[in-house]
Amino acid sequence: MESLKLKKITALWVITILVLFLAAIVLGILMRLNQAEVINQEPLTFYTNMTTHGLTMIGIWFVAGMAAVNYLLQRYVKTSYTANLFAFILTVLGVVLLWLCTYLGKFNTGWTFLYPLPFKDLGAAPWATPLFLVALTILGLGWLVWSVSMMAKILQRYTLAQAFAWQHLSKQPKSETPPFILITMITLVGVIAALIAAVIVIVLFFAEYFSKGSFVNDALLMKNLIYFFGHTIANEMLYLGVAVIYEIFGELSGRPKWKTTWYVSLAWNSALIFILTAFFHHLYMDFVQPEGLQIIGQLASYLASLPSVAVTVFSIIVAIYGVRIQWSITNCLFFLGVIGWVIGGLGAVIDATISNNIVLHNTLWVPAHFHTYNAMGNVLFSLGFFYWFTTQHVSKLVISKLTKFALIVLIISGIGFLMAFYIGGADSIPRRYSTYPEALTTGPALARMGAYFACLYLLVILMFFYNIAKRCFAILSAPSSSVGA
C-alpha cells in the first residue's frame, strides 16, 4: 500500500527527529541545571540554549506530525513524494541555519522572537538577526509547500464539503468521510494560516531592517502576529498527532475503526475557528488589547479543547473500556500520551482563564503545561507512531518486561520533571530566568529536582531511540523487494 520511497523518506524523518530530540533534551537539562546552580553558565549561553531548545523542539515535533500524517494519508490518496522530500531538505537546511544563528551568532531572543527584541542589542553578531529571518523563511517555505500539496491531494479525491465532513451534518449522509481526513484537513488549514502569519511577520521584520530606521513596526500588531504563528503551529502539531491516533488506534487494538458522526463533524469544524482565535490568550496581560478580544481568547481556548478532549479521549475510552485488547507498545504510548495531553490541557485551561493568568502569566506554569502535553503527550504519540511505522506489525510490538519497566520510569520521570515546573509556577517563579534572584528561594531546588528527573526521561528516550533507529536504518538500507512485507 505505502510506497517504498515514502517509507524511506519517513524513516529519514524519524532518525533526524530523534537525533535532534536527544540534543534538545540535553540542552533542556543544561538549562535546568544552570537554574539549579549546579553548573554555572553565562546568561548568554543559557539563552542561546533556550532559544535553540525551543525552536528545535517546536520544529521537530511539527514535522514529526506532518511526516506521520503524510505517511498514513497514502492510504486514501496519492501524496506527493517531491513535496515531502522538498520539505525534508528545507527543514534540515533551516535547522542548520538556526543552530548557526544561535551558536555562532549568539542569537538569543527565545523562540518567540518578540518584536523589537531581535533589533536591539542582544550580544549577538550583527548578521544573526537577518540570518534568523532567512532560516525562518526557508522553514516556512518548505512547510507551506508541503501542507498545501497535501491539502491539494486530499481535495482531488474529496470535494470541499466531503473533506470537511459537512455531509455528516445532514440526517442521512450519502458518503462517509474518514475522521482521519477530516482532522487532517482542519489541521492543514490551521497550519497554513500559521505559516502565512509567519510570512507576514518576516516581511514586516525585513522591511524595517532594510528601511534602516525610516519606519518602525507596531509592537502590538507584531505580538499578535507572532503568537498567531507560534501558538497556532504549536497547537496544530498536537492535532497532527491526534489524527494519527484516530487512524491507527482502533486497528492496533483490533477494534472497529472510528466513525464520523454529525457532532464529530460539527466539533472539528468549529474547532478550526477556535484554534485560530485562541492565540489571544498570549496577550491577556497586554491591557492595550481590546477587552472583546481577550474574552474571545478565553472562550476560544476553552472551546478549542472540546473536540479533542470530548471526542478523541472519549473514543479512546470507548475503545478500551471493558474490552480485552492487545496492549502493544504503540497502544501504550498512545494511551499514556492521551493522559499527558488531558492533564496538560487542564493546566492550559486554568492558565487560559484571565483571572488566573494574572498570577500565572510567564511564570513556570507556562512551561509546565506545555511540556506536559508535549513531552508527555505529543512526543509519545509520535514515538508510538515511530514504533508502529518501523515494524508495521502488531505482533512485533508486544511489550517486553524491559519495555514495561521503561514505561514506568518514563511516567515517574515525567511527573517529577513537570511537578517541578508546576510548583514553581504556583510559587511565582518566572519562566526564562537563567538564574533565580535570591528572594525566590524555592527556584533552584525545584530546578535541581526537574533536572534529575529529566535525566531519567533522557535515559528512556535513549532506549526508544536505539530500538527505533535500528529499524529505521534497516528500512533505509533494505532493497526494494523486502520492505513492506
Name the amino acid, one letter, at 328: S
**Per CB under 8 A, 58 contacts other proteins:** no
CB of 87 to other proteins, least distance (A): 16
Residue 375 interface partner, choices other proteins, ligand HEM, none, CB cut-off 5-8 Å depending on type: ligand HEM
Residue 272 in grid coordinates: 478550526
Name the amino acid, one letter, at 331: N
CB of 3 to other proteins, least distance (A): 20
The binder of other proteins chosen from 92, 426, 445, 478 (CB under 8 A): 426
The binder of other proteins chosen from 89, 125, 323, 474 (CB under 8 A): 323
**Per CB under 6 A, 448 contacts ligand HEM:** no
Give residue number: closest CB to ligand HEM.
28
Residue 361 interface partner, choices ligand HEM, other proteins, none, CB cut-off 5-8 Å depending on type: other proteins
- Asked whether 40 and 465 are in contact (CB, 8 A), the reply is no
**Per CB under 6 A, 61 contacts ligand HEM:** yes
Closest to other proteins by CB, 399 vs 483, is 399
Using CB under 6 A as the criterion, what x/- string covers residues 449-478 for binding ligand HEM? -----x--x---------------------
CA-to-CA distance for 187 and 365, rounded, in angstroms? 26
Q: How far does Cα 360 stand from its chain's mean position?
A: 22
Candidates 27-35, 148-156, 320-328, 353-361 — which segment interacts with ligand HEM by CB under 6 A?
27-35
CA-to-CA distance for 391 and 422, rounded, in angstroms? 37
> What would the DSSP string read from start to end of 161-227?
HHHTTGGGGSSS-SS---HHHHHHHHHHHHHHHHHHHHHHHHHHHHHHHHHTTSS---HHHHHHHHH
Between the alpha carbon of residue 386 and those of residues 15, 291, 383, the distances in Å are: 10, 44, 5
Closest to other proteins by CB, 171 vs 291, is 291
Q: Would you say how long the chain is, in residues?
A: 485
Residue 447 in grid coordinates: 530546578
Using CB under 8 A as the criterion, what x/- string covers residues 286-315 for binding other proteins? xxxxxxx-xx--xx--xx--x--xxx--xx
The binder of ligand HEM chosen from 105, 118, 297, 367 (CB under 6 A): 367
The binder of other proteins chosen from 89, 123, 125, 459 (CB under 8 A): 123
Using CB under 8 A as the criterion, what x/- string covers residues 161-190 for binding other proteins? -xx-----------x-------------x-
Hey, CA dihedral for 381, 387, 393, 394, is it positive or negative?
negative
Using CB under 8 A as the criterion, what x/- string covers residues 91-110 for binding other proteins? -----------------xxx
- Scan residues 152-211 and list those touching ligand HEM (CB under 6 A): none
DSSP structural state of residue 258: P
The binder of ligand HEM chosen from 223, 281, 371, 471 (CB under 6 A): 371
Residue 32 interface partner, choices ligand HEM, other proteins, none, CB cut-off 5-8 Å depending on type: ligand HEM
- Asked whether 165 and 182 are in contact (CB, 8 A), the reply is yes
Using CB under 6 A as the criterion, what x/- string covers residues 101-120 for binding ligand HEM? ---------xx---------
CA-to-CA distance for 266 and 186, rounded, in angstroms? 12
Q: Which residues pair with 398 in a beta bridge?
A: 328
10 Å CB burial of residue 171 (0-12, 13-18, 19+) is: exposed
CA-to-CA distance for 252 and 394, rounded, in angstroms? 6
Q: Which residues of 217-231 are buried (b: 16+ CB within 10 A; e: fewer)?
A: beeeebbbbbbbbbb
How many amino acids of this chain bind ligand HEM (CB under 6 A)? 24
* DSSP tally for the chain: helices H, then strands E: 16, 0
Q: Which residues of 77-94 are buried (b: 16+ CB within 10 A; e: fewer)?
A: bebbbebbebbbebbeeb
The binder of ligand HEM chosen from 53, 282, 361, 471 (CB under 6 A): 53
Residue 219 interface partner, choices other proteins, ligand HEM, none, CB cut-off 5-8 Å depending on type: other proteins
Q: Does the bond joining 116 to the residue before it have cis omega, within 30 degrees of 0?
A: yes
CB of 153 to ligand HEM, least distance (A): 27
Closest to other proteins by CB, 430 vs 455, is 430
Beta strands in 5-49 (DSSP E): none
Closest to ligand HEM by CB, 25 vs 472, is 25
Residue that is written with C-alpha cell 514553581 in the block: 424
Residue 441 interface partner, choices other proteins, ligand HEM, none, CB cut-off 5-8 Å depending on type: other proteins
Helix 81-99 × helix 128-157 angle, to 10° = 160
Residue 74 interface partner, choices ligand HEM, other proteins, none, CB cut-off 5-8 Å depending on type: none
**Per CB under 6 A, 54 contacts ligand HEM:** yes
Report the interface residues with ligand HEM, using CB under 6 A: 25, 28-29, 31-32, 50-51, 53-54, 57-58, 61, 110-111, 367, 371, 374-375, 379, 417, 431-432, 454, 457
